[in-house]
Amino acid sequence: MGMRETYTESLIRLAEKDERICLLDADLRVGHGTKPFYDRFPDRAINCGVAEANMLGIAAGLAAGGKIPFAETFGCFAARRAFDQFFISGNYAGLNVKLLGSDPGVTAAFNGGTHMPFEDLALMRAIPGLTIVSPCDPYSLGELMEPLAYSDGCVYLRMPRKAEQQIYMGNEKIELGRGKVLKEGSDITIAATGFVMVPEALKAAELLDKDGISAAVIDFHTIKPLDTDLIEEWAGKTTMIVTMENHQKSGGFGGAVAEHLSSTKPVPVFRIGIEDRFGQVGTEAFLKQDYGLTAEQSAPLIRDFFYKLK
């Protein structure tokens, strides 16, 4: 089962137990796979059309009336087009709006540069009190849906629509706000987030192990609030921290990690992410290669940086 199927099934399960759960979308019931929710709860689903800012205003109104609205659109529109409404009507007002921004970074693929948000985390991280979640597979998404639904305040959920992969076995405990150690290591710690980069981090760790560098890998599905205790713990256990993200380096997950460690436990931080570039059309595989996000590209850079520290 893929990400959008897991999202929709989780939302239906929540709505069956809680009549406050409702859904708003910007003409994406097919693209996001949420038609089953429309069929099951026609009186709790609203197609707002291609009017994302208006959708967030409606969601805020529903939240003010005691509902728990899930609003959804592509990440580029969630972060750029509707930012003011999400900021003011949702977050500043202290309401409970859950916003899904789909197809972040290179997962936008053939939708191209206009639909390829490399900057959404930078924008969303700047909103006080906002929770930001970026799960790496359908299982972790499913485990996080109920906690984020009932978390206090607004949430930004960042995920691809169509993708399928398995990182977790299906019996692990996933906690909102707590990172998950996927692989132990003693030399370096790779902190990764999201569907694209967690598997690349695991592959990079395997390549580094072959070079005699023991690499731990941690899935930071919750980007904000950052699990600072876990970051500090592994900064103390290993020589350096590596961050990997499907986002530009400026203002992203790596920045959040570096900002925290710079004032609490200063250690070398090496960031893997997109440089100062716009998006473009291409397959996800091509785009990962072109933007330097693959394990094969990352591992030699990490290795060279590690040896400079010795």
pLDDT tens digits for range 13-60:
999 999 999 999 999 999 999 999 999 999 999 999 999 999 999 999
Best CA proximity match to 246, nearest among 194, 282, 180, 182: 194
Q: In degrees, to the nearest 5, what angle opens at C-alpha 142 toward C-alphas 191 and 231? A: 20
What average pLDDT does this structure show over 129-141?
Answer: 98
Helix pair angle (228-237, 253-264), 10° resolution: 70
Q: Which long-range contacts (CB under 8 A, 24 or more apart) does 207-213 make?
A: 207/295, 207/296, 207/299, 208/299, 208/302, 208/303, 211/299, 211/303, 213/187, 213/188, 213/302, 213/303, 213/306
Q: What pLDDT, in 10s, does the model give residues 188-234?
A: 999 999 999 999 999 999 999 999 999 999 999 999 999 999 999 99
Residue 147's Cβ-side half-sphere holds a number of Cα atoms within 13 Å equal to: 17
Enumerate the CATH 3.40.50.970 domain ranges in the chain, comma separated: 3-159
CA distance 198 to 201: 5
pTM greater than 0.75 (yes/no) = yes
Domain 180-308, CATH number (from 3.40.50.920, 1.25.40.10, 3.40.50.300, 2.40.50.180) = 3.40.50.920
- Among 231, 195, 194, 188, smallest CA distance to 211 is for 188
pLDDT at site 21: 99
Cβ neighbours for 173, distance < 8 A, ≥ 6 positions apart: 143
Q: Is the pLDDT of residue 242 over 90?
A: yes
CB 282 within 8 A of CB 293: no
Q: Give the confidence band of 164 by pLDDT, cuts at 50, 70, 90.
A: confident
Question: Please, what CATH class does the domain formed by 3-159 belong to?
Answer: alpha beta
State which H helix or E strand residue 36 sits in.
helix 35-40
Q: What is the pLDDT of residues 53-101, one digit of tens each?
A: 999 999 999 999 999 999 999 999 999 999 999 999 999 999 999 999 9
CATH 3.40.50.920-classified regions of the chain: 180-308
CA distance 310 to 116: 38
